[in-house]
């Protein structure tokens, strides 16, 4: 959908938002549109802040009712978002990441709250937190300065145990079918046989880090003609001496700021994958003192990739960490206080859709977007970040009548009713 001629809202952004809301029932499209645009312009994570960032057409309670009782399916919105991301990535290999993060809570009444161990605990922070655990699947989008992660779908863990994170991860993979085949980047915790086999059945490849003592076996020699019995599945085990005997090569890794890495690799079968052939890469990064760090063991289910390509691809997994930081500090993941699981996940996904569209708009760097940015004298002329684009959109389109982006649907929806607290936004 093209924007109304009276606005100067970015055309590309308008088209994306229109494509997403069209996947929902017609009766609630305008409300969803306003919530997404409000989340794009506002910060902090509260629905109220998103409403105040616009000139709304409905009363205050209508937007909260939409999140709690609206008849739309998140899967439709996620599928539309995945198609947009897939188009923007183009013919390049699409990398996806699955990881989890904790959102501290002060109340046990919030959905999914439990006392959990914080794997990233610092010395000045508690080891165990009363928190919610969110498992997110994101895609890596190339930008001019560096690759960035965009959130596609997120699940909320139940209150009991960590076993639910693997089940959630499998569900997230099934939810992004519209993204097409991807190369999944996993850390050591998510490199579980059941998750990897699920990804392979869905047509995806996996690259991830495992423990250095993972049982790996070389491929067996070819079977001799006429020999009875089943063919051997495993050859000799790749122990420390066998790995040390492998030829080593040194490369500069662009994903690790050009640091040198000593690589050894072999095609083998891990015991925990029950016969799946992988390429194993032992990666030793060079220290600042000139020595080599302890080897990290990476596995790729695509054995045709080179060792260097596997390490470069895995370096993109760290892009999800700045994404979690932005979701918490800018988009207000820790301030989402919805008491119902459905309302919380709906609002979180609308905020994530806004975050994804913001990053995609930054990656495009179109003249219409650049015209909104006013760079300080100390910034390079090529500087363009999602934060700058968000600030420019918020300054230009504060109190924007977002419902006019879909004029044909607006004509069917009746007149604007500006009642209740949203009037504060008009007067602001």
- Helix, strand or coil for residue 387? helix
- Kindly give the confidence (pLDDT) of every residue in the chain, 428 residues in length, as a single tens digit, with 9 standing for 90 and above: 444 433 478 899 999 999 999 999 888 899 999 999 999 999 888 999 999 999 888 888 899 999 999 989 999 999 999 999 999 999 889 999 999 999 998 888 889 899 988 887 677 888 888 999 999 999 999 988 889 999 999 999 988 765 589 999 999 999 999 999 999 999 999 999 999 999 999 999 999 999 999 999 999 988 777 777 677 889 999 999 999 999 999 999 988 888 999 999 999 999 999 989 999 999 999 988 888 999 999 999 999 999 999 999 999 999 999 999 999 999 999 888 888 999 999 999 999 999 999 999 999 988 888 888 876 656 665 578 899 899 999 988 988 888 888 765 444 444 444 433 333 333 32
At 163 the pLDDT is 58
- Helix, strand or coil for residue 205? strand
The DSSP 8-state label assigned to residue 93 in this structure reads P
Cα distances (Å, whole numbers) of residue 394 to 40, 43, 52, 77, 398: 8, 10, 12, 24, 5
The separation between CA 413 and the C-alpha centre of its own chain, rounded to angstroms, equals 34
Cα distances (Å, whole numbers) of residue 383 to 43, 182, 292, 375: 22, 30, 35, 8
Answer yes or no: are the C-beta atoms of 132 and 110 closer than 8 Å.
Answer: yes
Three-state secondary structure string covering the chain: CCCCCCCCCCHHHHHHHHHHHCCCCHHHHHHHHHHHHHHHHCCCCCHHHHHHCECCCCCHHHHHHHHHHCCCCHHHHHHHHHHHHHHHHCCCCCEEEEEEEEEECCCCCCCCCEEEECCCCCCCCCCEEEEEEEEEEEEEECCCCCCEEEEEEEEECCCCCCCHHHHHHHHHHHHCHHHCCCEEEECHHHCCHHHHHHHHHCCCEEEEEECCCCCEEECCCCCCCCCCCCCCCCCCECCHHHHHCCCCEEEEEHHHCCEEEEEEEEEEEEHHHCCCCEEEEEEEEECCCCCECCCEEEEECCCCCCHHHHHHHHHHHHHHHHHHHHHHHCCCHHHCCCCCHHHHHHHHHHHHHHHHHHHHHHHHCCHHHHCCCCCCCCCCCCCCCHHHHHHHHHHHCCCECHHHHCHHHHHHCCCCCCCCCCHHHHHC
User: What is the distance between the alpha carbons of residues 162 and 117, in angstroms, rounded to a whole number?
Assistant: 10
Alpha-carbon dihedral 351, 353, 354, 357, rounded to 10 degrees: 160
Domain boundaries, the chain: 11-72+365-427, 210-221+232-314
- Helix, strand or coil for residue 399? coil
At 366 the pLDDT is 87
pTM, two decimals, is 0.89
DSSP per position, 353-384: HHHHHHHHHHHH--HHHHTT----TTS-TT--
Answer yes or no: are the C-beta atoms of 293 and 284 closer than 8 Å.
Answer: yes
Phi, psi of 315 (to 5 degrees): -60, -25
At 47 the pLDDT is 92
Q: Would you state the structure tokens that stand for residue 171, as one six-digit string?
A: 């569900």
At 377 the pLDDT is 58
At 381 the pLDDT is 54
User: What is the distance between the alpha carbons of residues 118 and 125, in angstroms, rounded to a whole number?
Assistant: 9
Give CA angle at 376 (374, 382), nearest 5°. Answer: 75
Cα separation of the two ends of the chain: 29
């Amino acid at each position: 959908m093209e924007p109304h001629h009276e606005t100067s809202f970015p055309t590309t952004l308008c088209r994306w938002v229109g494509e997403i809301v069209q996947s929902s029932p017609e009766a609630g499209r305008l409300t969803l549109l306003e919530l997404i645009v409000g989340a794009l312009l506002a910060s902090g994570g509260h629905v109220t802040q998103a409403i105040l960032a616009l000139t709304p057409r409905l009363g205050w309670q209508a937007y909260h009712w939409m999140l709690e009782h609206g008849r739309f399916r998140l899967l439709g919105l996620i599928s539309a978002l995945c198609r947009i991301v897939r188009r923007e990535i183009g013919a390049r290999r699409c990398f996806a990441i699955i990881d989890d993060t904790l959102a501290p809570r002060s109340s046990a009444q919030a959905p999914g709250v439990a006392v959990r161990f914080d794997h990233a605990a610092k010395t000045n922070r508690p080891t165990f937190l009363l928190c919610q655990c969110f498992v997110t699947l994101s895609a890596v989008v190339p930008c001019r300065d560096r690759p960035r992660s965009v959130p596609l779908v997120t699940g909320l863990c139940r209150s009991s145990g960590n076993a639910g994170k693997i089940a959630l991860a499998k569900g997230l993979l099934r939810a992004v079918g519209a993204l097409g085949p991807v190369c999944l980047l996993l850390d050591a915790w998510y490199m579980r046989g059941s998750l990897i086999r699920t990804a392979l059945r869905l047509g995806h490849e996996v690259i991830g880090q495992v423990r250095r003592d993972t049982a790996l076996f070389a491929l067996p020699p070819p079977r001799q003609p006429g020999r009875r019995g089943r063919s051997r599945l495993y050859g000799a085990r790749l122990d420390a001496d066998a790995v040390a005997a492998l030829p080593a090569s040194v490369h500069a890794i662009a994903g690790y700021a050009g640091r040198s890495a000593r690589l050894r690799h072999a095609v083998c079968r891990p015991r925990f994958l029950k016969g799946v052939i992988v390429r194993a890469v032992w990666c030793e990064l060079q220290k600042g003192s000139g020595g080599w760090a302890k080897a990290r063991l990476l596995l790729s289910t695509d054995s045709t990739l080179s060792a260097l390509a596997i390490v470069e691809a895995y370096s993109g997994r760290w892009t999800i960490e700045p994404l979690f930081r932005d979701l918490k500090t800018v988009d207000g993941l820790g301030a989402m206080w919805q008491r119902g699981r459905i309302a919380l996940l709906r609002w979180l996904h609308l905020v994530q859709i806004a975050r994804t569209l913001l990053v995609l708009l930054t990656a495009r760097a179109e003249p219409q977007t650049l015209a909104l940015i006013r760079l300080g004298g100390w910034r390079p002329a090529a500087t363009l970040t999602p934060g700058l684009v968000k600030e420019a959109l918020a300054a230009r389109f504060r109190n924007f009548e977002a419902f006019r982006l879909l004029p044909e649907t607006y004509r069917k929806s009746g007149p604007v009713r500006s009642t209740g607290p949203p009037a504060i936004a008009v007067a602001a």
